[in-house]
């Protein structure tokens, strides 16, 4: 099989290539798409609506899947992070751009929507800076809904990835909201985080996740984001044992 | 004088301290406050209104003034930059926080307001994440004006810094708008930039400035932001030749 050929090649590769140890590459031959970071929705050339997201968790997941052998495309909103080694990275700004880049990267076996996509954008962004006029009222921002990338990927038809994972950043009723989100989006798993003020999850080095799957609710302990990423990657790999990869990238 | 004592100390300092050459420290004994970067105005715990600003230009000015011997306090909005060496740095998030930190750092001889402060903030930020409800309209964001730090510092009374410099990021009628801004704010100089799409000034390594002073308009060529910072710092130093420092920091 293709998988066997790749594994054989990796075993034969010289050490100095610094590839991951070839004895644990359960995701070789699998394609994964990860979205990460925030989106910025322009109001005018200098102002935008943004989401607080460092991108740390999504980047860590991209790196962890890559280390398990997956072919990883990371579609990132504005962050100050470098792409993990071995990962194909693409930078976008808005939810619309993130949607286009994600759909263009299909088909895939695994999609992890870790980005904090803005739910709304400003109806008409202007090309000129809105001037603050002394004595005048501030502008009114009319918002319109952004595309729902997670729901769209979950319902994409014949190309639907076998495992679609969404994230839920919640401040209240974390578990209940995450279970409802899984049903509403049609995705397979939800990784839910409590991002209330004081948890220091957003931008911080640690995370505490609740994993919602078809089988139920797993409450994971607080751990570094890198560790959470590795654990999630292993959990993903378990879903792909003993069968052949389904998705090959369309030739352009 | 204090200035002579500091200069003598610097001349006697061992080379390995890597201090700037002690033969050109025209701003020794002067206090400067620089604001830099954007501000983020919260909508809820995960969403905010932001301004596009990398902070590069403001950080470069802080570094350049410090290299000329000034005692520099850099008050920075959210950026991914490290504080220049020798500069006292403080991080803030919102316009209100930037105002408080700037006023608290007075008195100073020089204030450079290089930050891209959000003109408006959301009237009532919520402590819970605003939920996107299927079928419901997006929220309406009611904005209120933020404090005008530049105007306030320019009119601060007996503690008014001798040189107050504002920045103007414009997309249209750059020079005309900058001249009007100087008059409206009551500051001494305005450094105006054209940040239209395509100029790549915002976030980019280069800048082209128009300096508006009481004497008129200086159109500077396009140059790296570091170079523009050095040139502005020298220009500032010219204003402080041959007289004694006025501002000593209040004892806490």
Residue of B nearest to A120 (CA): B138
Backbone torsions φ then ψ of A213, nearest 5 degrees:
-125, 180
User: Computed from CA positions of residues B115, B118, B119, B124, in that sequence, does the dihedral angle turn out positive or negative?
Assistant: negative
Q: What is the pLDDT of residue A234?
A: 96
- Burial of A9-22, coded b for 16+ CB within 10 Å and e otherwise, reads ebeeeeeeeebeeb
Q: Does B252 touch chain A (CB under 8 A)?
A: no
Average pLDDT, integer, range A4-11: 71
* Share of residues in chain A with pLDDT > 90 (%): 64
Q: How far is A50 from chain B (nearest CA, A)?
A: 5
Angstrom distance (rounded) from CA B213 to CA B189: 5
Q: What is the pLDDT of residues B3-60, one digit of tens each?
A: 777 777 766 765 555 555 567 899 999 999 999 999 999 998 889 999 988 999 999 9
* Share of residues in chain A with pLDDT > 70 (%): 88
Nearest neighbour of B169 by CB, restricted to A46, A49, A195? A46
User: By three-state DSSP, how is residue A129 classified?
Assistant: coil
Q: What is the pLDDT of residue B132?
A: 77
Contact B201, B174 (CB under 8 A): no
User: By three-state DSSP, how is residue B37 classified?
Assistant: coil
Q: What is the pLDDT of residues B64-106, one digit of tens each?
A: 999 999 999 999 999 989 999 999 999 999 999 999 999 999 9
- Would you state the torsion angle of the CA atoms of residues A186, A192, A195, A200, taken in this order, to the nearest 10 degrees? -140
Cβ distance A50 to B51 less than 8 Å, yes or no, reads: no
Q: Does B46 touch chain A (CB under 8 A)?
A: yes
Q: Which residues are registered as beta bridge partners of B213? A: B216
- Residue B136: list chain A partners with CB under 8 A: none
> Does residue B159 or residue A230 have the better pLDDT?
A230
Angstrom distance (rounded) from CA A117 to CA A89: 17
* Share of residues in chain B with pLDDT > 90 (%): 64
List Cα–Cα distances, B64 to B86, B111, B141, B164, B202, in angstroms. 11, 14, 40, 17, 20
Sheet strands (E) in A132-222 = 143-145, 163-170, 189-194, 206-207, 209-213, 216-219
Most confident among A9-13, A95-99, B140-144, B240-244 (mean pLDDT): A95-99
Residue of A nearest to B116 (CA): A46
Angstrom distance (rounded) from CA A103 to CA A99: 6
Instruction: State the pairing for strand pair A88-91/A71-76.
Output: parallel
The arrangement of secondary structure in A26-118+142-238, i.e. its CATH architecture, is: 3-Layer(aba) Sandwich (3.40)
* Catalytic residue list contains A193: no
Q: What value of ipTM does the predicted structure carry? A: 0.78
DSSP type of residue B84: P
- Which stretch of A92-106, A119-133, A228-242, B147-161 has the lowest confidence by average pLDDT? A119-133
Nearest neighbour of B143 by CB, restricted to A131, A138, A145? A138
Average pLDDT along chain A: 88
**Would the pLDDT of A25 be above 50?**
yes
Q: Which CATH superfamily is domain B25-120+140-169+229-238 in?
A: CoaB-like (3.40.50.10300)
User: Computed from CA positions of residues B145, B110, B169, B37, in that sequence, does the dihedral angle turn out positive or negative?
Assistant: negative
Nearest Cα neighbor of B101 from B76, B119, B125, B69 is B76
């Amino acid at each position: 099989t293709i998988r066997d050929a790749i594994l054989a090649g990796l075993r034969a590769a010289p050490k100095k290539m610094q590839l991951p140890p070839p004895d644990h590459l359960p995701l070789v031959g699998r394609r994964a798409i990860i979205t990460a970071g925030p989106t910025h929705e322009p109001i005018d050339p200098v102002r935008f609506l943004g989401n607080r997201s460092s991108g740390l968790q999504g980047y860590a997941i991209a790196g962890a899947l890559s280390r398990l052998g997956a072919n990883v495309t990371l579609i990132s909103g504005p962050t100050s992070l470098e792409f993990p080694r071995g990962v194909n990275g693409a930078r976008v700004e808005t939810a619309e751009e993130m949607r286009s880049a994600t759909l263009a990267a299909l088909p895939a076996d695994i999609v992890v929507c870790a980005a904090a996509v803005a739910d709304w954008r400003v109806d008409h962004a202007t090309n000129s800076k809105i001037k603050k006029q002394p004595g005048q009222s501030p502008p009114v921002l009319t918002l319109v809904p952004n595309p729902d990338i997670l729901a769209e990927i979950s319902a994409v038809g014949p190309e639907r990835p076998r495992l679609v994972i969404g994230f839920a950043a919640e401040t209240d009723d974390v578990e209940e909201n995450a279970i409802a989100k899984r049903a509403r989006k049609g995705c397979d798993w939800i990784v839910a985080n409590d991002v209330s003020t004081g948890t220091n999850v957003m931008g911080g080095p640690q995370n505490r996740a609740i994993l919602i799957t078809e089988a139920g609710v797993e409450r994971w302990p607080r751990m570094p984001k890198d560790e959470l990423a590795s654990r999630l990657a292993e959990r993903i790999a378990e879903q792909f044992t003993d069968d052949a990869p389904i998705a090959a990238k369309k030739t352009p």
